[in-house]
Amino acid sequence: MNAVINGIDTNYLTVGQGEAVLLLHGWGSSLEPYRRLIHLLSKKYFVIALDLPGFGKTGEPPRPFAVDDYVDFVLEFLKLFSISKLSLVGHSFGGRVIIKMVNRELPFAVDKIVLIDSAGIKPQPTRGKSIKQVKYKLGKWFATRKLVMRLFPDMLEKLRVKYGSADYAAASNMMRQCLVRVVNEDLSELLPGIQAPTLLIWGENDTATPLSDARKMEKEIPGAGLVVMKNAGHFSFVEQPDLFERVMASFFEIG
């Protein structure tokens, strides 16, 4: 299904009946890899999933979005439905959006939250990363000299691709600007503001959002519980699908 939300052609699906559950995907993804989870939840719930702006079949934002802009977009999207109570499931970037969202005054009650390998905690730079950042800053200074820009107009972009993340290298110019705004925001101070029952599901070998992030979230979010998936990384729901589904079915009381 499609709807135009704030001028953006938005792809989404709904399936099932009952109380509502919203699924938010990770950065660079779409609703498609979550079809199995959507099917599980739809056995008891009315599941809403969408491609966020700039991903899947949804158009890019008209300007660089920060996390708050994505929250605004999701809340506007949810006006399509009559919702008084909603559960939230977010993977990676989707979890980041949820953390920001539930710290606002919302027009609906939040019943349950699941954060899967969630982003939101800004990592402390390692020595290697710090050196990489210094090299990039020096290169950026050189590349932005007027003469260099005139002679080598693509040097700065090549530096960004070389020293940036895989997500940055794969993104369009607009989504690269969004990514910079998103990853530089630390949401740690918002964790105590999450009041709904919260389940954290994490791959023990996650390198994108390490298990230490999960431990911090478990400590800071009141009453949060953590399930660690052995032999799984950032996409724990894909790498350990059977265990993941058992955990989700238990949390959502799906028989």
Give the tens place of pLDDT for each residue, 101-120: 999 999 999 999 999 999 99
What integer best gives the mean pLDDT of the chain? 91
Helix then strand then coil, in percent of the chain rounded to 5, is: 45, 20, 35
**In the structure, what pLDDT confidence band is assigned to residue 5 with cuts at 50, 70 and 90?**
very high
Q: Is 55 in contact with 29 (CB distance < 8 Å)?
A: yes
Percentage of the chain modeled with pLDDT above 70: 85
Nearest in space to 254 (alpha carbons), one of 89, 92, 78: 89
Q: Which residue has the higher pLDDT, 173 or 88?
A: 88
Single pTM value for the model: 0.86
Give the tens place of pLDDT for each residue, 138-147: 666 666 777 6
Q: Which of 23-37, 45-59, 148-162 has the lowest mean pLDDT?
A: 148-162
Q: Which residue has the higher pLDDT, 240 or 131?
A: 240
CA 51 to the chain's CA centroid: 11
**Mean pLDDT confidence for 54-64:** 98
Domains within the chain, CATH numbers bracketed: 2-122+185-251 (3.40.50.1820), 127-179 (no CATH)
Give the tens place of pLDDT for each residue, 209-221: 999 999 999 999 9
